[in-house]
Structure 1
């Protein structure tokens, strides 16, 4: 067997259930990215992308023959959008960092009233629209998937912009994501969502303390390579 295929298909047994190592590793990358986001480090973005790639193959269980054999189209699709939005966030944070690898890459601040209305409107419209799309393609739990999908993209975008509110969006995502993933049998992901729930509260407090207490960062020119 090809070593790469063997690595991707590696499993372990937990309480009588088969769990893919790549689901665990992908989620650990996601947790590491969240830690980097809380600390406002640029490396949070590429680390998160690595986790997104692994989890994309996990949530298309019917395509990649995972133990669950379920296609969570919203979960898989959001990994793609995560990668796209993370590219923007990576560029945005590099542009505002002062050049030191250990420097904060963004100044936490509240979104404007206009931006908040944008977030609320996009959350409602996105949930309705994507629920219909996920329903048509036969995704598991279309409304939950649509809520998680839309919220995840908006939270990632808010993180890229330095909006403190993005942590609150993640709390809403986790509140729906844990029951969905438990029901679908994605136990490592559900467990990590529970970890995230506590972590995002911590992250929100950290960013809240920094909001408005730091001078604006100066935007730097970013080389293309």
Structure 2
């Protein structure tokens, strides 16, 4: 147990900043999961779950004694919901691969689904901002926006909606400033890297979607 505790508490010191290795590793798993999602491979989900578990302990800083000593309830809570939604996504992609040979086929959400996403984003942000405020979370409105958007994006990935990449961009725009202000520098930097992968992933999924549509038209003809 002492070895595990040592690994769990391992730190990296850069100037005056103290950074936990589990924050770096957890975000690295997150990037690997994003790459897997872009490539539409099933292993993206379990890899993401491992990263989520590590990052939960990072963002509950006052509970797990991180250098920041801050509880970001939104960031921590979304890791738990990520795990739940990821199990759903993992199951869905495995079933889809079994049925059609492909884990997921990118496509646009319907108009009704888009309206539901926008409504959920607005209402979720308002409701969770109040919840996180009562819990004493750091940056409750930003936390609520990130929390709601992250769950929507993960669910959208599970459903194969190409829009989920756009939701991630909206999350990153708010997430980077929040994490920099709170002192979670590795997470902030990796959020910036995520933004690059998100733009790339969106372009890849859009290309696959267009190619699939063209093939369907040819087949139908």
TM-score range, shorter chain: over 0.9
2:164 matches 1:166: yes
Name the structure 1 match of 2:110: 112
Name the structure 2 match of 1:140: 138
Name the structure 1 match of 2:11: 11
Q: CA RMSD in A?
A: 1.4
Name the structure 2 match of 1:180: 178
Name the structure 1 match of 2:155: 157
Offset, 1:98:
4.2
Separation (CA, whole Å) in 2 of partners of 1:143 and 1:44:
29
Q: Which runs of 5+ in 2 are unaligned?
A: 214-221
State the secondary structure of the residue aligned to 2:211.
Answer: coil
Contact 1:109–1:162 at 8 Å: present in 2 too?
yes
Offset, 1:104:
4.0
Contact 1:39–1:104 at 8 Å: present in 2 too?
no
Offset, 1:15:
2.7
Separation (CA, whole Å) in 1 of partners of 2:141 and 2:88:
27
Name the structure 2 match of 1:48: 48
- Which residue among 121, 124, 136 is the counterpart of 2:122? 124
Name the structure 2 match of 1:33: 33
**Higher relative helix content:** 2
Contact 1:164–1:207 at 8 Å: present in 2 too?
yes
Offset, 1:214:
2.3
Separation (CA, whole Å) in 2 of partners of 1:28 and 1:130:
27
Offset, 1:99:
7.9
State the secondary structure of the residue aligned to 1:124.
Answer: helix
Separation (CA, whole Å) in 2 of partners of 1:48 and 1:150:
18
Name the structure 2 match of 1:93: 93
Q: Which runs of 5+ in 1 are unaligned?
A: 216-225
State the secondary structure of the residue aligned to 2:12.
Answer: strand
Deviations 1:155-206 (A, max 9, x none): 0000000000000000000000000000000000000000011110000000
Number of aligned residues = 213
TM-score, length of structure 2 as denominator length: 0.94
Separation (CA, whole Å) in 2 of partners of 1:105 and 1:138:
40
TM-score, length of structure 1 as denominator length: 0.92
Separation (CA, whole Å) in 2 of partners of 1:126 and 1:38:
26
Name the structure 1 match of 2:70: 70
Offset, 1:128:
0.2
Detail structure 1 runs of 4+ shifted over 3 Å in the superposition: none
Contact 1:12–1:19 at 8 Å: present in 2 too?
yes
